[in-house]
Structure 1
Amino acid sequence: MGSSGVRGSRVSPLSVAGWLGLAVLLVGAFIAALGALNQTVYGSSSFIERYLSAIANDDIAEASTTPGVALDEAELAELGLPANVSTAMLRSGVIESGPEDVRIMSDVARGDGTHTVTASYRLADAIVQSSFDVRPIEPLYGVLNRWEFAVSPLAVIDVTAAHNPTFTVGSLTLDTRALKSGEELAAFTQVTPYIAIAPAVYEFSFSSELLEAVPVTVQADASARTAVTVDAQPTPAFVERVQAKVDGFLAACATQAVLQPAECPFGIEIDDRVTGDPEWSIVTSPQVTLTPGESSFDMPPTEGVAHITVEVQSLFDGHYYTLDEDRTFTLALSATITPDDTIDIQLK
């Protein structure tokens, strides 16, 4: 009777080699794909492109949380800024325009692993070229490159709010006194630094019933400090309201039946005997003009004309006559706007 059994199968050396070769190819393909991703999607150039694109899309939350963008207390101190410097402008709806038509001009690797990425882009009507230094940080999943700015691209904008503490940038209205106290609060002109996303273009302005500032466009370049003045000037409505107060004041003065109306800019001295009540009228009120001074809007000494009619007896020969003449006078004043938007006038 013959023996029976299972003969063990043997794997061909060629099959083993084939599988090993396939594994090597797969690993190589994976490494190549990983390298391609790290050169493109996860590359330093793409990092810059994503940051600039976030600004262009007004996604300021994404842009401001990009690694390396936020400034710590030491960096603020190095820039001469207080730790509580305002970041109120770091929000959507503030920029006028962001970088468009972005092109990476160069991406230079350094020996320490940092890269200098130079990008060209359009800001409003200007073509701008900027260089950004970035450095690697802990890789994603241990294999995909991640980057951060070696120098924050945030800008500092020093806003001078001339003659009015508030200003408008984009859809946001800010008060330059927000972080101030004491005597600083009373300053007629306020200067306050603001952290701003960059690169971007901003438009500063102000408009109210009483004050208006001509819009000013500012280009905030990356890692740069710039300044802007929001110059608030009196509106026609402001001038009209002051004119009405002046006219009312002078009309009240004219009701005083005396030669020298009290606390009024006009009057007369007569050597003869006054025999009747003086009657005053205003022929011409001073025409109000307002220009900014050190602490208020000022009207320089401006001419007006009052008229007096009064019965008089001559002390020389006793005859009676009517004094009927115009009297020229000048009036100067300062005007300020109170917190409740009323106008306070002080005569000079």
Structure 2
Amino acid sequence: MGSSGVRGSRVSPLSVAGWLGLAVLLAGAFIAALGALNQTIYGSSSFIERYLTAIANDDIAEASTTPGVALDEAELAELGLAPDVSTAMLRTGVIESGPEDVSIMGDVAHPDGTHTVTASYRLADAIVQSSFDVRPIEPLYGVLNRWEFAVSPLAVIDVTAAHNPTFTVGSLTLDTRALKSGEELAAFTQVAPYIAIAPAVYEFSYSSELLEAVPVAVQADASERPAVTVDAQPTAAFVDRVQVTLDEFLGECAAQPVLQPAECPFGIEIDDRVTGDPQWTIVASPQVTLTPGESSFDMPPTEGVAHISVEVQSLFDGHRFTLEEDRPFTVALGATIQPDESISIQLK
């Protein structure tokens, strides 16, 4: 009987070519998919869209932690800012409105790998177009593009708190003296810089029983440094309280039974003999008006009228009579608000 043997199997060249072709197709599809992802979701345009959308959603935590947004100490110094400059405005509930209806108008690639992305969006009632420079950073998983701002889009808003150190922006109330010391604390008008997310619109104001500032809207564009003045003015309640205090002071002056009440704005000199206690009354109290001065809310010299009634004997002929006379006088004063919300008044 003849012996039987096992015949070796052969791989068809066509099969190998088929598998290689499939591998090439899969690799090509993978590369194409990566390319599509890097052009869309992981593209420079999408990076800008996500940043602007985070602001519009008031997700300030996401916006402020976007790569390239935070300012380092060297960048702060270049802007003339101290390392401890306030970042208190970088929080939810502060912006009045963020960028809406975002549309990418252009995405220009440069030879060094950076891109300039131009976006159009609505900011409150304005249509704004801004360009952002971004650059690549270490890819995600080594293959998916990641980006950072080449120049931080943060804005610096210089706030002048006129005649009152505190102001309100959004739901936040801030004190411009927070990082100051010494003589700076006593200034009637304070100025302080604040880091703010941008682009966005902010509304600055102030309102209390004694002071009120008309709301002011500020458009903070990316990488810009706008300024705003929160101009606190005395309320009717403030004026009324000063009027009451002034009237009480003048009443105390009138209660003094002398010709020249001490430290008071009115008095009289009489050459004849005074035979009775002088009696003063306030006929017309000066009407208080207040405007900001250099260090206080000031009332300009304002006229009032006091009346004196006193028994007198003539030195010429001994005749006795009652002197009745109106005495015009003027009062000027400065009023300041103390930390406990009391009002301090100084006559000028």
Normalised TM-score (structure 2): 0.99
Aligned residue in 1 for 2:41: 41
How far apart are residue 308 of structure 1 and its match? 0.8
How far apart are residue 14 of structure 1 and its match? 1.2
Distance in 2 separating the partners of 1:78 and 1:310: 74
Distance in 2 separating the partners of 1:115 and 1:68: 14
Distance in 1 separating the partners of 2:252 and 2:183: 36
Amino acid across the alignment from 2:168: T
Distance in 2 separating the partners of 1:25 and 1:99: 42
Name the stretch that deviates more: 60-69 or 314-323. 314-323
Report whether the alignment pairs 1:292 with 2:292. yes
RMSD of aligned residue pairs (Cα, Å): 0.7
Aligned residue in 2 for 1:163: 163
How far apart are residue 3 of structure 1 and its match? 2.0
Amino acid across the alignment from 1:134: V
Pairing 1:119-130 to 2, within 5 Å after superposition: 119-130=119-130
How far apart are residue 319 of structure 1 and its match? 1.1
Aligned residue in 2 for 1:323: 323
Aligned residue in 2 for 1:265: 265
Distance in 2 separating the partners of 1:317 and 1:180: 70
Amino acid across the alignment from 2:126: A
How far apart are residue 2 of structure 1 and its match? 2.9
Report whether the alignment pairs 1:302 with 2:297. no
Runs of 4+ in 1 over 3 A off after TM superposition: none
Aligned residue in 1 for 2:135: 135
Q: Secondary structure at the match of 2:131?
A: strand
Distance in 1 separating the partners of 2:102 and 2:8: 66
Amino acid across the alignment from 2:144: L
How far apart are residue 320 of structure 1 and its match? 1.1
Distance in 2 separating the partners of 1:333 and 1:282: 18
Distance in 1 separating the partners of 2:303 and 2:5: 131
Aligned residue in 2 for 1:252: 252
Pairing 1:43-192 to 2, within 5 Å after superposition: 43-192=43-192
Distance in 1 separating the partners of 2:185 and 2:279: 46
Distance in 1 separating the partners of 2:127 and 2:154: 19
Amino acid across the alignment from 1:74: A
Amino acid across the alignment from 1:254: A
Distance in 1 separating the partners of 2:247 and 2:8: 120
How far apart are residue 16 of structure 1 and its match? 1.1
Consecutive unaligned residues of structure 2, counting only runs of 5 or more, are none
Distance in 2 separating the partners of 1:138 and 1:59: 25
Distance in 2 separating the partners of 1:235 and 1:6: 108
Report whether the alignment pairs 1:216 with 2:208. no
Q: Secondary structure at the match of 2:226?
A: strand
How far apart are residue 276 of structure 1 and its match? 1.0
Distance in 2 separating the partners of 1:27 and 1:197: 42
Q: Secondary structure at the match of 1:50?
A: helix
| Cα deviation digits, residues 268-325 of structure 1 (max 9, x gap) | 1111111111111111110001111111111111000111111111111111111112
| Cα deviation digits, residues 20-57 of structure 1 (max 9, x gap) | 11110000000000000000000000000000000000
How far apart are residue 206 of structure 1 and its match? 0.5
Aligned residue in 2 for 1:240: 240
Distance in 1 separating the partners of 2:209 and 2:175: 17
Distance in 2 separating the partners of 1:3 and 1:105: 81
How far apart are residue 141 of structure 1 and its match? 0.3
How far apart are residue 165 of structure 1 and its match? 0.4
Normalised TM-score (structure 1): 0.99
Amino acid across the alignment from 1:63: A
Distance in 1 separating the partners of 2:47 and 2:125: 25
Consecutive unaligned residues of structure 1, counting only runs of 5 or more, are none
Distance in 2 separating the partners of 1:295 and 1:305: 28
Aligned residue in 2 for 1:207: 207
Aligned residue in 2 for 1:344: 344
Name the stretch that deviates more: 98-107 or 309-318. 309-318
Q: Secondary structure at the match of 1:225?
A: coil
Report whether the alignment pairs 1:26 with 2:35. no
Distance in 1 separating the partners of 2:162 and 2:125: 28
Distance in 2 separating the partners of 1:271 and 1:4: 158
Aligned residue in 2 for 1:230: 230
How far apart are residue 9 of structure 1 and its match? 2.1
| Cα deviation digits, residues 64-107 of structure 1 (max 9, x gap) | 01000011111111111111111111111100000000000000
Amino acid across the alignment from 1:240: D
Distance in 2 separating the partners of 1:2 and 1:207: 112
Distance in 2 separating the partners of 1:132 and 1:332: 56
Distance in 1 separating the partners of 2:125 and 2:198: 16
Distance in 1 separating the partners of 2:209 and 2:5: 106
